[in-house]
Chain A
Amino acid sequence: MALQSRILTLMTLSFHIIYATIGVGVPLMIMIAQWVGIRKNDEHYILLARRWARGFVITVAVGVVTGTAIGLQLSLLWPNFMQMAGNVIALPLFMEVFAFFFEAIFLGIYLYTWDRFEDQRKHFLLLVPVALGAAASSVFITIVNSFMNAPQGFDVLNGELVNVSPLLAMFSPAVPTKVAHVLSTAFMTSAFVLASIAAFRLLRGSNHIYHKKALFLTMKLALIFSVATAIIGDFSGKYLAEYQPEKLAAAEWHFETGSEAELVLFGVLDGEEPKYAIRVPYALSILAHGVPSGEVIGLNDFPEDEIPPLWIHYLFDTMVTLGMWLAFFSFVYVVGAWRGWSIVTKQWFRWLTVLSGPLAMLAIQAGWWFTEVGRQPWILRGYMKTSEGATASGQVDLMIVMFAGLYVILGIGTVVVLSRMYKRNPVEKELAQRESAKGGEE
């Protein structure tokens, strides 16, 4: 039943990661907007934070649903794995619940206390635990995923787990790069998604300064986190070369161990020979070790049944290409807006901006598919194969159909509700209402 379990897990995670990424990244964006608003005493930024928060809560609610689903599905679909892993890596899973608990409580308070405090800064402070809780949740979950990639903190003696050290298991070598990568891409993607929305409003006839402020702010943040992501991505390459060389080798179609390795981009595989590919000399050695002479372990050093599927090459290339493009694009925008280049206000440029949010989300999907498929055939690298971890239940097929239906409905519902909510209450209308309300008070 391993195949069905994999399909359902892939489906749930692919859907959940959209909401999880927004859930981790957007609170920081709201925080920054509200802070800028308070500092500059600018009503627009405060309203920006407020309107983002309204949309955010809908994505959080759906994310809670999908998150509960994946949390339970881990035990339902992978009972053998969870029985084993529970002994070693239960601690961060447990801590994640607390982090989420913390976030949920303060999100509730934050949402229902707009304008309740005289001092805006008090309300702003309520957002800090939301952003911290969200980030901490993703850190803990990523720690669990890191453990699956580089398990440690236990010994196996006659099939029994002994000498378990929960802390050692938590801080596996995969943690630093993985956690940093997940956080920075969540911030980056959220910034691009919000930039997309602002650009879309500007294209659709509203020339309000509110949207221009939103666009400039989010693109600046997108640039910062894109650059951070690129730097962390480079470290991730070095981590892989050291601890999971088979994943890197499969992603790069690197068959023979050797130094001065070239980086293969795209192409098709003919036997062991990449065709029609872009080849960058020395680049793989540099990615793996920082120097052109670095020796990169090839697939020939691994038994055939422990090599990940080679199509992860395309996932890796998709992720990296999109990441590079987005960093370049946000750089052009920020410099252009700063230097007053007319290109950044052109229609086609705005459409490219609209595209950047979905592209960033696509990069997230490609990245997670890459890391998960790239760990195959292992569920716990070196200790348990995916097929051994799966449930023996024969009813997973039916569950796949049920959950597919659920995710379609939730996905459509999110889009319909969000667009309807903002359409009914455009920012111009809300600004005018706030103006007249203020006028009445004075």
Chain B
Amino acid sequence: MTLEIIGISVLWLFLFLYVIVASIDFGAGFFNAYSAFSDKQHILTGIIQRYLSPVWEVTNVFFVFFFVGIIGFFPQTAFYYGTTLLVPASIALILLAVRGSYYAFATYGAKINHRGYIYMYGLSGLLLPAALSPVLAISEGGFMRLEGGQPSLDYWALFTSPLMWSIVVLSIAAVLYISAVFLTWYAWKAGDEKATQLVRKYALVWAGPTIVTATGIIFELRGHNPEHYASLLDLWWMFALSFLLFLGTVFLIWKKRNYGLAFILLVGQFFTAFFAYGASHYPYLLYPHLTIYDSFTNESMAIALIIAFIAGLGLLLPSLYLLFRLFLFDKDYVKGKSDYHA
């Protein structure tokens, strides 16, 4: 295993973790806003505040970890992606600010629960995946021009590309689906029957669009990037496994059984699909300009980063375990029986 592969695997794993935890966060905010809109408030608000408030900063760090890590391992990405993503990434930052400030001002602070704020917070959860996911489309190539050695984004090509829009739709559907499945489990653990039924319904509603758009993207790649499409097909068995896991989750949710297992299967479904997609993208970080080999940092930096990563994990894993034990797996806390907020 080369250093390049280790580096990209670590980053991809953290991006995957971000996709899962951020989806839960984004989707929950949207469901919260939706229930406020349709006057079903309070069913979800309590659950969201108990789960999301203590962990949202941790969620955000996964994102920071990814973009700091990719500059560390693959400094050339700063040149290509940094230059071209100025606008979309800045929009994403503003949206993240809306979410961060909601936690700061509305849940920690003076409990400003103005409706407009709840809607903005909820909407930002849908707009964020829409702002971030086009990067995946850009990485397929064809949307970036090099003019005088400087890369620039071809907005017209990007915004008229069906591939880009399918990726956006998939990201939104996946956010809502992942979030709904997790919240079904969490609400069930909290013993909140009404909330469980509500989010279970959402999970079933969003399962279909998720799988349909995901499949659609594979076929759109055939026209857009045949090379990538070919290597995707080589990994067909991983996508097949992912599909089976998907069926498992939907079955369990449908039958109202084993919500915990349903969520674990969902993580498995996304894990296999995410890594199959990542592996088929190999070795390109950006078709056709950038591969993990020509953009890689020097060897001594790579080794230093990997050592720092291992040491960091040694510190983090026990801490994360403690966090989850106290908030996610503590029955009294989940059920809202204990409130020890400062």
Query: A residues engaging B (CB < 8 A)?
Result: 50, 53-54, 57-58, 60-62, 64-65, 67-69, 71-73, 75-80, 82-88, 90-91, 93-98, 100-102, 104-116, 129, 161, 164-167, 391-393, 395-396, 398-399, 402-403, 406, 409-410, 413-414, 416-418, 420-421, 424
Do residues B320 and A161 form an inter-chain contact, with CB atoms below 8 A? no
Pairs of residues from A and B, 10 with the lowest C-beta to C-beta distance, nearest first: A86-B75, A79-B82, A61-B104, A90-B72, A98-B312, A82-B78, A65-B100, A417-B109, A75-B82, A104-B57
Do residues A108 and B341 form an inter-chain contact, with CB atoms below 8 A? no
Q: Which of B201-209, B261-269, B322-330 contacts A (4 or more CB under 8 A)?
A: B322-330
Chain B residues with Cβ below 8 Å from A410 are: 97, 101
Do residues A57 and B108 form an inter-chain contact, with CB atoms below 8 A? yes
Do residues B86 and A104 form an inter-chain contact, with CB atoms below 8 A? no
Which residue of A is nearest B341, CB measured? A112
Q: How many angstroms from the CA of A201 to the CA of B104 in the assembled complex?
A: 24
Interface size class of B (residues with CB under 8 A): 35 or more
Do residues A71 and B67 form an inter-chain contact, with CB atoms below 8 A? yes
Which residue of A is nearest B110, CB measured? A420
Q: How many angstroms from the CA of A203 to the CA of B237 in the assembled complex?
A: 72
Do residues A424 and B100 form an inter-chain contact, with CB atoms below 8 A? no
- Given the interface pairs A57-B342, A98-B312, the reply to whether A87 lies near B103 with Cβ below 8 Å is no
B38 within 8 A of A: no
Chain B residues with Cβ below 8 Å from A393 are: 83-84, 86-87, 152
* CB-based A-B contact count at 8 angstroms: 225
Q: How many angstroms from the CA of A119 to the CA of B97 in the assembled complex?
A: 37
- Would you give 19 A-B contacts (Cβ < 8 Å), ordered by A? A54-B342, A61-B104, A64-B60, A65-B96, A65-B100, A69-B97, A75-B81, A76-B89, A82-B75, A83-B75, A95-B308, A104-B61, A105-B323, A112-B327, A112-B341, A129-B319, A165-B300, A410-B97, A416-B110
Do residues B86 and A395 form an inter-chain contact, with CB atoms below 8 A? yes
Q: How many angstroms from the CA of A409 to the CA of B120 in the assembled complex?
A: 14
Chain A residues with Cβ below 8 Å from B104 are: 57-58, 61-62, 65, 413-414, 417
Do residues B61 and A97 form an inter-chain contact, with CB atoms below 8 A? yes
Q: How many angstroms from the CA of A347 to the CA of B254 in the assembled complex?
A: 70
Do residues B327 and A72 form an inter-chain contact, with CB atoms below 8 A? no
Which residue of B is nearest A57, CB measured? B108
Do residues A167 and B304 form an inter-chain contact, with CB atoms below 8 A? yes
Do residues B110 and A424 form an inter-chain contact, with CB atoms below 8 A? yes
Q: Which of B295-321 contact A (CB under 8 A)?
A: 297-298, 300-301, 304-305, 308-309, 312, 315-316, 319-320
Chain A residues with Cβ below 8 Å from B301 are: 87-88, 90-91, 164, 166
B150 within 8 A of A: yes
| B23 smallest CB distance to A (angstroms) | 18
Q: Return the contact of B57 from the options A58, A91, A108, A391 (Cβ within 8 A).
A: A108
Do residues B83 and A94 form an inter-chain contact, with CB atoms below 8 A? no
Q: How many angstroms from the CA of A413 to the CA of B102 in the assembled complex?
A: 10
| A419 smallest CB distance to B (angstroms) | 9
B9 within 8 A of A: no
Chain A residues with Cβ below 8 Å from B312 are: 95, 98, 101
Which residue of B is nearest A424, CB measured? B110
| A123 smallest CB distance to B (angstroms) | 9
B233 within 8 A of A: no
Q: Return the contact of A102 from the options B55, B86, B94, B316 (Cβ within 8 A).
A: B316
Do residues A100 and B64 form an inter-chain contact, with CB atoms below 8 A? yes
B293 within 8 A of A: no
Chain B residues with Cβ below 8 Å from A90 are: 68, 71-73, 75, 297, 301, 305
B112 within 8 A of A: yes
Do residues B82 and A61 form an inter-chain contact, with CB atoms below 8 A? no
Chain B residues with Cβ below 8 Å from A67 are: 64
Do residues B315 and A98 form an inter-chain contact, with CB atoms below 8 A? yes
Chain A residues with Cβ below 8 Å from B82 are: 75-76, 78-79, 82-83, 391
Do residues B340 and A116 form an inter-chain contact, with CB atoms below 8 A? yes
Q: How many angstroms from the CA of A79 to the CA of B61 in the assembled complex?
A: 21
Do residues B86 and A396 form an inter-chain contact, with CB atoms below 8 A? yes
Q: How many angstroms from the CA of A95 to the CA of B69 in the assembled complex?
A: 10
Chain A residues with Cβ below 8 Å from B309 are: 94
Chain A residues with Cβ below 8 Å from B73 are: 90
Do residues B78 and A402 form an inter-chain contact, with CB atoms below 8 A? no
- Given the interface pairs A112-B327, A114-B341, the reply to whether A93 lies near B68 with Cβ below 8 Å is yes
B65 within 8 A of A: yes
Do residues A84 and B75 form an inter-chain contact, with CB atoms below 8 A? yes
Do residues A91 and B341 form an inter-chain contact, with CB atoms below 8 A? no
Do residues B72 and A105 form an inter-chain contact, with CB atoms below 8 A? no
- Given the interface pairs A86-B78, A94-B68, A94-B309, the reply to whether A112 lies near B340 with Cβ below 8 Å is yes
- Given the interface pairs A68-B60, A114-B340, A164-B301, the reply to whether A80 lies near B79 with Cβ below 8 Å is yes
Q: Return the contact of A166 from the options B112, B300, B342 (Cβ within 8 A).
A: B300
Chain A residues with Cβ below 8 Å from B244 are: none
B2 within 8 A of A: no
